């Protein structure tokens, strides 16, 4: 592991190497998710309301009273027009705004399940001591394999060029994602990860190099 070292002369219980990983933590907060709009419009209509009105009617008649002297203050022998007011009720129209109903919005709080995704990082510890125990076997496997290749772009490779493949397979065998699974079962995932790592280094031919990766995996699993 680059960038990390410790004293190999220390006792085993004195060597402490932190291994960290990131985990998703989800918090909830209040947010405005949308709105409900209510539109009020004003319409006009003609209304007719029946109403009873009272008024006075004038009936003119003469009544004989018998002869009597003219009283003081009575206007007699004067010409003119006499106005007698006639009273009655008339309809006066007024408008009054009244509340005839209400629109009630009921909001219910519901709970729904959502999946929150995020990318987290995780540290892996590669056991160099364990890899070192198998390194000679890996070199021997590489030499035998190279001698069987008949030309091609990989026939002239050196051990230094091939070793990352053995190391990749060896470390992948310790990956907790693949625990309890066989190489053939996880090979599609290993190939995708391998090609994403080494596509720019000229070692992108999985079919030609998978034997080296598999050898590293097999040795790590103790087979």
Q: What is the DSSP string of 168-218?
A: HHHHHTT-GGGTT--HHHHHHHHHHHHHHHHTTTT---HHHHHHHHHHHHH
Higher pLDDT, 180 or 24: 180
CA gap 75, 61 in Å, rounded? 19
Query: Is 36 within a domain?
Result: no
Quick one: average pLDDT of 1-17?
55
Asked if the structure places residue 6 within a domain, the reply is no
pTM, two decimals, is 0.45
| Within a domain: 197 | yes
Query: Pick the residue with more confidence: 150 or 209?
Result: 209
15 within some domain: no
Q: What is the pLDDT of residue 57?
A: 85
Residue 164, domain member (yes or no): yes
200 in any annotated domain:
yes
Q: Do the Cβ atoms of 18 and 3 come closer than 8 Å?
A: no
CB 216 within 8 A of CB 130: no
Sequence-ordered list of residues with C-beta below 8 angstroms from that of 198, at least 6 positions apart, any chain: 164, 204
Query: What are the residues whose beta carbons fall under 8 Å from the beta carbon of 91, sequence distance 6 or more?
Result: 51, 53
Determine, yes or no, domain membership for 190: yes
Q: Please compute the mean of the pLDDT values over residues 147-158 and round it to a whole number.
A: 72
29-50 average pLDDT score: 84
Count up the domains in the chain and report the number: 1
- Specify the pLDDT at position 203: 53
Give the model confidence (pLDDT) of 109-123 as tens digits. Answer: 888 888 888 887 766
The C-alpha angle with vertex 149 and arms to 207 and 132, in degrees rounded to 5, equals 75
Is the residue at 207 inside a domain?
A: yes
176: domain range? 158-223
Please list, residue by residue across 142-167, b when 16 or more beta carbons sit within 10 angstroms of its beta carbon and e when fewer do.
Answer: beebeeeeeeeebeebeeeebbbbbb
């Amino acid at each position: 592991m680059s960038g990390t070292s410790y004293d190999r002369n220390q006792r085993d219980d004195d060597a402490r190497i932190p291994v960290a990983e990131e985990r998703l933590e989800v918090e909830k907060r209040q947010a405005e998710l949308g709105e409900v709009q209510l539109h009020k419009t004003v319409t006009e209509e003609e209304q007719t309301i029946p109403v009873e009105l009272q008024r006075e009617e004038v009936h003119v008649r003469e009544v004989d009273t018998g002869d009597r002297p003219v009283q003081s203050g009575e206007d007699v022998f004067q010409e003119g027009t006499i106005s007698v007011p006639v009273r009655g009720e008339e309809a006066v129209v007024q408008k009054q705004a009244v509340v005839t109903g209400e629109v009630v919005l009921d909001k219910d709080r519901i709970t729904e399940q959502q999946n929150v995704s995020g990318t987290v990082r995780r540290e892996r510890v590669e056991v160099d001591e364990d890899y070192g125990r198998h390194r000679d076997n890996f070199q021997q496997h590489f030499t035998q394999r190279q001698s069987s290749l008949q030309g091609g772009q990989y026939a002239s490779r050196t051990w230094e060029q091939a070793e990352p493949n053995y190391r990749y397979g060896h470390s992948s065998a310790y990956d907790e994602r693949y625990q309890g699974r066989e190489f053939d079962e996880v090979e599609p995932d290993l190939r995708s990860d391998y090609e994403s790592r080494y596509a720019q280094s000229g070692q992108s031919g999985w079919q030609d190099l998978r034997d080296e990766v598999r050898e590293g995996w097999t040795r790590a699993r103790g087979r």
